[in-house]
Amino acid sequence: MNFSKIKLIRILQLSATTVFLGRAWQYLYWDAPFRALLWDESLMQQPIEKLFGWSWERYVSSPEVEAAIQYLINGVGVLYLFAALAVYLSPKFPRLSKGLLFLGGINLIILAILETKTHFFFASQFFEYSLQFSVPFFLLIYWKHRQWNTALLNGMKVAIALVFISHGLFAIGFYPRPGYFVEMVMNVVGLNQRQAIQFLNIAGILDFVVSIAIFLPHRLAKPALFYMVFWGFCTTMARIAANFYPELWQYTLSRWVHESLFRFPHFLIPLLVLIWAEKQNKL
């Protein structure tokens, strides 16, 4: 691969675009966990009763409230679509593009918080979204300084490490291992359940090792980054591979393509860091 001809900004733009498009698809055609907050009686009952004078039962059963929540979800989905366009419109509309990217990034952080709430506030549940919600801000920082500097790349390394460590903690069972982790390994690799769990334990340990290695000198960081690009790509595409059924191909693609799209930074950002490091070391 001729690293010298690859423009880092294109990789960063593609990362931001895929996150926004994937989340837009989710919000417009499927759902988002806003009800985890808006229907939380312990948090919302008093504000609803004081602000609107409604009983909690009226609030949670109201068709108007349900419609408003759905409008909110769809509205954020539209915001993500415009943010995806803004990634490439910055030269012509710099203020608008920056504003859309910032709002999109903030909403990705809110999504990570809501997803964490729905998963018992496990810290790793939040940090596994680190690359997804950081990418818009990495792009904003690059636009501000118009250069690749060590601070920006180190920030990317931190986000990469947080994602891989978080996945590793779930893979080894430190937090309850998601059943779909095991199912994906069984469906894609063809292992039985016991073998799949052993496979995940090994993968989790490797996640920890490479997350440390990327902060070491380049000769040690380079193979770790190569592994992260490879493994990040595999886990991203596994959502489609593990759930693809030819007889239901339309439903499968509609349900799972966006799940892969917003995970593209999991291999694209390690690739960006790898290429930058190679260029710094004169290839």
Q: Read out DSSP for 3-24? A: GGG--HHHHHHHHHHHHHHHHH
Lowest mean pLDDT of 9-13, 92-96, 230-234, name the range: 92-96
DSSP assignment string, the chain: --GGG--HHHHHHHHHHHHHHHHHHHHHHS--TTHHHHT-HHHHHHHHHHHH---HHHHHH-HHHHHHHHHHHHHHHHHHHHHHHHHHHTTTSHHHHHHHHHHHHHHHHHHHHHHHHHTTT-HHHHHTTHHHHHHHHHHHHHHHH-S--HHHHHHHHHHHHHHHHHHHHHHTTSSPPPHHHHHHHHHHH---HHHHHHHHHHHHHHHHHHHHHTTS-HHHHHHHHHHHHHHHHHHHHHHHHTT--GGGHHHHHHHHHHHHHTTTHHHHHHHHHHHHHHHHTT-
Q: Is the pLDDT of residue 27 over 90?
A: yes
Cβ(117)–Cβ(36) below 8 Å: yes
| pLDDT of 164 | 98
3-state class percentages of the chain: helix first, strand second, coil last, to nearest 5 = 80, 0, 20
Pick from 166-170, 238-242, 268-272: least confident = 238-242
Percentage of the residues of the chain whose pLDDT score is greater than 70: 97
CA distance 72 to 68: 6
Structure tokens at 273: 């860091």
**Which residue, among 272, 6, 26, 34, has the nearest Cα to 134 in the 3D structure?**
272
Angle ∠(87,89,90) on CA atoms, nearest 5:
80
Pick from 6-15, 55-64, 89-98: least confident:
89-98
9 Cβ neighbours under 8 A, 6+ residues apart: 142
pLDDT band at 1 (very low <50, low <70, confident <90, very high): low
pLDDT at site 247: 82
Half-sphere exposure of 101 (CA within 13 A, CB side): 27
**Residue appearing with tokens 């790509």:** 233
Residue 2 confidence class, pLDDT cut points 50, 70, 90: low
Is there a contact between 170 and 182 (Cβ–Cβ < 8 Å)? no
Nearest 5 degrees, angle CA 122-CA 233-CA 198?
60
Whole-model pTM: value is 0.93
Nearest CA among 199, 261, 265 for reference residue 232: 265
pLDDT of the residue at 202: 97
pLDDT for position 131: 97
What's the mean per-residue pLDDT of the chain?
A: 92
Quick one: pLDDT at residue 180?
86
At residue 283 the predicted structure's pLDDT band, cuts being 50, 70 and 90, is: very low
| Residue count of the chain | 283
What letter represents residue 253's amino acid? Answer: L
